[in-house]
Amino acid sequence: MAPIQQQPKLETKFSPIQFNSDKIRSDGDNLYTKFTYENSVVETDANGKQTVTPTAIDYEFKLDLKAPKTGLLLVGLGGNNGSTLVSAITANKHNISFQNKEGVVKPNYYGSVTQSSTIKIGIDKDTGKDVYTPFNSIVPLVNPNDFVVSGWDINSLTLDKAMERAKVLDYDLQRQLIPHLKEYKPLKSVYYPDFIALNQKERADNIFNVDKEGNVVTNNKWADVERIRQDIRDFKKNNDLDKVIVLWTANTERYADVLANVNDNSENLLKSIKENHDEIAPSTIFAVASILENVPYINGSPQNTFVPGVIELAEKYNSFIGGDDFKSGQTKIKSVLAQFLVDAGIRPVSIASYNHLGNNDGYNLSAPKQFRSKEISKQSVVDDMIESNQILYNKEKGTTVDHCIVIKYVPAVGDSKVAMDEYYSELMLGGHNKISIHNVCEDSLLATPLIIDLVVVTEFLQRVQYKKVEESDEKYQDFYAVLTLLSYWLKAPLSKPGYQAINGLNKQRQALENLLRLLVGLPVNNELRFEERLLV
């Protein structure tokens, strides 16, 4: 294979890797890659006969090699996740070690795919063993230590006090972080009481949609959009940022009703905001403001922020959105285990999931409408796996998985969420298999690395463009507005209308790896391993 004439300079904090491929070229600022996307198209006639035709489309990808100065605006900055994120970045940036009962702990980003996982890049020339490299050494990615972070919160506590209230981190680390965090004060946020639990009312002392007497005002929603837009612009200007990303990690809202002539398309949505319709949620206000500013917006909670009108608006403005709901512990295991069972030809009959937790997320979810939002996002995680096997599940006969979810608020356990799952499956000839899992996880320490990854990957995807090779005069274009490549980190991944969302964790990870591989001229990963299976 002939080496390229100009070798791309892909230097990171790790040792640079030289990719010798005739599929890539670089002008120093950008990396250009040719890639043939191969797939198969299936046609099914009226009798059920299927015809499979392989397809191949040649693309050229363009990657901007400069990692920009990136700002992150969190909705819910003072919550457990927000205060823990700023704490983690601060500890890593300043190399703050701390003492717990087991000894000295050095700062790290464990739990983050982009910062703490590796990717296979090939096999060793001499030994034939797999060779792995850090995820963030393939192409230039932003370093979370360099994030500039701010955001909104309905509560006014500075982040040092919010960190103490969250009770997530060890005392010795909190003690050292206080001088760094006490300068962080959340921006005033928008608050519509109908959308979150009434038990959150006492926290709402930092809101801008109030009248002169301090009463909450919900009849000027377009002004709320404009206020958030101005906050985004000020944040970008004051910190001299190249890019800004907005991410919702605030309270779970109730589901908004999707109504004709209200939020069913972008025109009706904007009209309804200006008319102060009751079904316009705070998270949708933030999403619309972000889209109008052409700033990516990620929904880390389970509510249906992305009603059809928001998706259409993102399409019109070519602004990235991603959601819904962080996929951290119990649901991530479910997306692996359910896939294993179905792929093994075992038929899960029921999945019963129980949680109890004691942080403010659990407190808010103790309200029925907010719990329903979470229940929907957790249930959907096995949908595509059921649809993948018509032998085990038959739509016409109505066979599916009985999926039961319970969440209880137990203050004593704090941020340590307790999860118990039972998978009851049918085996051959009437046999049954039962798998029970008991999982205890520190909720915010699992969710915070997901935020880091979502921001790092979203920013990276903004620097990737593509065009079809056969249309040489075609301009490079961005990915579709809904970033399905973020699905690895989200329980109920948003998909392009008309397409099926993929929940299987291994499939989601494979898509990310293969994108990185193709951008540097490597073939997509496979495990045929002909080197060891065939005589050469």
Show which residues are catalytic: 325, 374, 417, 491
| Separation of alpha carbons 116 and 87, rounded Å | 18
- State the chain's maximal CA–CA distance in angstroms: 83
| Separation of alpha carbons 353 and 331, rounded Å | 9
Distances (CA, A) of 347 to 197, 336, 486: 38, 15, 28
| Per-residue buried b or exposed e for 303-335, using 16+ beta carbons within 10 Å of the residue's own CB | bbbbbbbbbbbbbebebbbbbbbbbbbbbbbbb
Tokens, residue 34? 């040719």
| Separation of alpha carbons 188 and 208, rounded Å | 6
Helix (H) or strand (E) holding 88: helix 80-93
Interior CA angle at 454 toward 502 and 12, to 5°? Answer: 120
Helices marked H in 423-529 — which ranges? Answer: 443-462, 505-519
Q: Taking each helix axis from N to C terminus, what angle separates 159-166 and 171-181, rounded to the nearest 10 degrees?
A: 160
| Separation of alpha carbons 88 and 454, rounded Å | 15
Tokens, residue 276? 């102060």
Beta-carbon count within 10 A of 62 CB: 16
Provide φ and ψ at 48, rounded to 5°. Answer: 90, 5
Tokens, residue 23? 């599929």
| Separation of alpha carbons 491 and 302, rounded Å | 8
| Separation of alpha carbons 54 and 38, rounded Å | 7
In terms of DSSP bridges, do strands 118-123 and 297-299 run parallel, antiparallel, or are they unpaired?
Answer: unpaired
Helix (H) or strand (E) holding 245: strand 243-248
DSSP 43-81: EE-TT--EEEEEEEEEEEEEEE-PPPPEEEEEETTTSHH
Q: Which amino acid is at 476?
A: Y
Beta-carbon count within 10 A of 258 CB: 13
